[in-house]
Chain A
Amino acid sequence: MKLFRTISLGLLASALAIGSAAAQDKTIKIATEGAYAPWNFTGAGGKLEGFEIDLAADLCARVKVKCEMVAQDWDGIIPALNAKKYDAIMAGMNITDKRLEVVAFTRPYASGMHGFATMKNSPLAKLAGTGERVNLDKDPQAAEKTIEAWKPLLKGKTVGTQGSTVNSQFLEKYLKDVVTIREYKTTEQHDLDLAAGRVDAIYAAHSSLQATLDQPEFKDMTIAGAGVSGGVLGRGVAVAVRKDDTELKGKFDAAIQSAIADGTIAKLTQKWFKVDMTPQG
């Protein structure tokens, strides 16, 4: 029975594949989303590129380990870390209290603003505070006043955002009763829907919005309203590791510390974001 032999050989081979994967686990696997330009995205031909891909290579060289980047849907990126699909996440993920309940974070390696973007001809383009910055931790009153000022314009509009992010949490907390929130799997999808007119505005990290603006198809899009940080928006972007993986956390902490100190982070953020996004303090 040739067929039978083929099947049993196939099963044996896959069993061996599992076994060998278990044996050689010295490579550190880092998950990223691959759909969040310029943090991490997939370039022509399907290669992972972006700020975090460069940074991971630099950090791993400092720690002297071999690293492998894998793409993973944002939706399940934290559960899959805890299910041991990989060892760390570098995917533009902000430190928040909610996430700290299930994973551990290193010290932040970048920080930035979050805000709205809309089409230039939309009434929402006139949202207050464009170009300004407010921080929910340092100056909560000013921040909440800014948000309050947005409400009349936003009333009844539909806003797209990526699900299970600090951005969706921000909308849920401050604007839930004012706008209809539509959650997307990736930022690329809500960009498409903003251009298609299915949503009136999108809410995302300024860094990611800026990258979209630079594309010819999105020349009519604009960032609107003040940039917000802190509070539910988190305390900077960091590497997430499993809670019990203190060894890896320690290594990455030290590596990030030295990458900040010698200006590598400043150089890489300049390269990818055109501004210095080195975390303060």
Chain B
Amino acid sequence: MDFGFMWDTFLQLLSGIPLTLNLSFTSVAFGAVLAMVLALMRMSGIRALDGFARAYVFVFRGTPLLVQIFLIYYGLGQFRPTLQEWGLWVFFREPYWCAILALTLNTGAYASEIIRGGLQSVPHQQVEAAKACGMSGFLLFRRIVFPIAVRQALPAYGSEIILMVKATSLASIITMMEVTGLAAKIISQTFRAVEVFIVAGLIYLILNFAITRIIMAFEWWLSPHLRRPSTVEPRLEAAHV
């Protein structure tokens, strides 16, 4: 192992991190909105909406993301004249937006199940109590259901975010120069695959470790009721000295 080379590679790969994070967070943000809509459709009790959301989740969870990316990027390229007519081509022309679209549609499917789980875990007593106080509709959702559901869903959503960070590596296949794309480029110049991939893996590991910590801190901040009261612990050190 040539550590000097690995350090150089590390420094070069750092410049791919902004794009990796950009792709992850943009698609997680759009995906969350989509997931919310899908979850509400599933729970709406309207058969057509419920059926559509189910089919959507089945299709996007049942096919590899790589196939979805190829389908959106190269597949839709086959229909350029039609897309141009509809004025959508400006969007599909850019690999960045194709990657965002594929990642968003994908995470939307997974996250909608997480959100649905969270919404369903809200104790009905809480809802009833709120109703008894005269809350209803959006106010009930905003003040009671949503905060509790978010708290419940957060650990699972945290893993989903990590999965998305990992999934952005597939965007390298459609010419995006994020961390994996840069790694492939460095390999093409140096022909040293193993060292470069180890360094790239390390970068993802560090990124995901940091994100996990942030989510954990967020979880802690959201659940003050589960924290132990901060009593002053009896200090034992003094006795030892």
Contacts and interface: CB of A to CB of B under 8 A. Distances in A.
A182 B175 contact: yes
Interface string A98-119: 1101100000000000000000
Contacts of B214: none
B184 A75 contact: yes
A163 B194 CA distance: 19
Given A163-B185, A183-B185, A185-B173, A196 B191 contact: no
B52 interface: no
B93 interface: yes
A27 interface: no
Nearest to A182: B175
A192 B193 contact: no
B184 A78 contact: no
Contacts of A156: none
Interface residues of B, number: 19
B185 A193 contact: no
Given A192-B74, A198-B77, A82 B187 contact: no
B175 A197 contact: no
A2 to B, nearest CB: 30
Interface in B56-101: 74, 77-78, 80, 89, 93-95
Contacts of A76: 187, 193
Interface residues of A, number: 25
Contacts of A163: 184-185, 188
Interface in A189-209: 189, 192-193, 195-198
Most B CB within 10 A of own CB, among A75, A82, A168: A75
28 contacts: A75-B184, A76-B193, A78-B191, A79-B187, A79-B194, A98-B189, A99-B191, A101-B191, A102-B191, A164-B184, A164-B185, A164-B187, A164-B188, A164-B189, A168-B188, A182-B95, A182-B175, A183-B175, A183-B185, A193-B77, A195-B80, A196-B77, A196-B80, A197-B93, A198-B77, A198-B93, A198-B94, A198-B95
Interface of A: 75-76, 78-80, 82-83, 98-99, 101-102, 163-164, 168, 182-185, 189, 192-193, 195-198
Given A102-B191, A163-B185, 12 more contacts: A76-B187, A76-B193, A79-B187, A79-B193, A83-B193, A99-B191, A189-B74, A193-B77, A195-B80, A196-B78, A196-B80, A197-B93
